[in-house]
Amino acid sequence: MRVQPSDSKLTGLFLDMLAAEQGAGPNTLDAYRRDLTDFSEFLGRVGHSFADAETQILRDYLADLDSRGFKSTSVARRLSAMRHLYRFLLNERIRTEDPAAILSGPKRGRGLPKVLSIAHVDRMLSRAKELSEAEDASPSKRLRALRLYCLLEVLYATGLRVSELVALPRSAAKRDARMIVVRGKGNKERLVPLNEASRQAMADYLAATEAAKADKKNSVAASKWLFPSFGESGHLTRQHFARDLKELAVASGLQARLVSPHVLRHAFASHLLHNGADLRIVQTLLGHTDISTTQIYTHVVEERLKSLVRDLHPLAEK
């Protein structure tokens, strides 16, 4: 009788495939690992494993998620993880059938992304600039303020994912750089333009880090990263930037819960579309492989078209 690999072994093989064949990044791999570990623990409690679970057992797991209060979006994500896993097991001939193939996920409407107004973004940029120019700040505090201002300017100018932003190389801050090369999901590269404000913020921040080299204790100044850190990754973490951004939001008179790096990415896309940018161009700038992902912003385009007809059509009511 053939002994089937354990769930943990199969999870490892599956994640190796995602990394090698699909270029999945650390965050994607961690999300799959968490979801499949929870699924495996449920199967263990009912005396099953990945290798022998049938469709009804998978339905029981989805019902268990619902009883634990999981939102429909989270249940749908777990179902997606199971579907990917069982397609992999089928291809590897570990399973002879796919028990997840006929499962249907929870119905869910695609919510509109949270978006800050242009005035709100301007307020945050102004406050960040004030903090970076404070004359009474210590050198280390001024450097952190310049870093935050640079991060904010670059994020709003480019719409980068936060993982792409914090991992920018030091070479991205070249004085004559009009474009930066960004390595996104699936290890795919794309060119993203920089505006004058973001280039200046990067130049000012880089000059401050160069000045910090005079302090021999500051070894991060020689890092290959634009936003270095003493942590394991070698660069600023997503979580650290998110905390700094929320503190800036409060200092700008905004509610912290309304502000995050991803919300600013949404603001970048929505404000571009509102001002007439083409949806395909925004798709390219955001690094979306599929246009359907970018179409969450179509409400912005629709509102703009309505206003154009209302304001410019010769028969529109005045």
Contact 116, 259 (CB under 8 A): yes
Catalytic residue among 59, 183, 262, 304: 262
Annotated active-site residue 304? The verdict is: no
Using the Cα atoms of residue 102, residue 107, residue 108 and residue 109 in order, give the sign of their dihedral: positive
Annotated active-site residue 68? The verdict is: no
Contact 154, 137 (CB under 8 A): no
Burial of 145 (0-12, 13-18, 19+ CB in 10 A): buried
The CA dihedral of 274, 280, 281, 285, to the nearest 10 degrees, is 100
Catalytic residue among 48, 84, 120, 265: 265
**What's the CA gap between 243 and 236, in Å, rounded?**
12
Catalytic residue among 142, 288, 299, 304: 288
| End-to-end Cα spacing for the chain | 81
Annotated active-site residue 299? The verdict is: no
**What's the CA gap between 2 and 116, in Å, rounded?**
57
Catalytic residue among 161, 235, 266, 271: 161
Annotated active-site residue 217? The verdict is: no
Annotated active-site residue 262? The verdict is: yes
**What's the CA gap between 191 and 244, in Å, rounded?**
27
Catalytic residue among 185, 190, 240, 246: 185
**What's the CA gap between 245 and 255, in Å, rounded?**
11
Neighbouring CB atoms inside 10 A of 123's CB total 18
Nearest to 201 by CA among 131, 109, 114, 300: 131
**What's the CA gap between 168 and 197, in Å, rounded?**
17
Annotated active-site residue 306? The verdict is: no
**What's the CA gap between 94 and 49, in Å, rounded?**
12
Q: Which of the residues are catalytic?
A: 161, 185, 262, 265, 288, 297
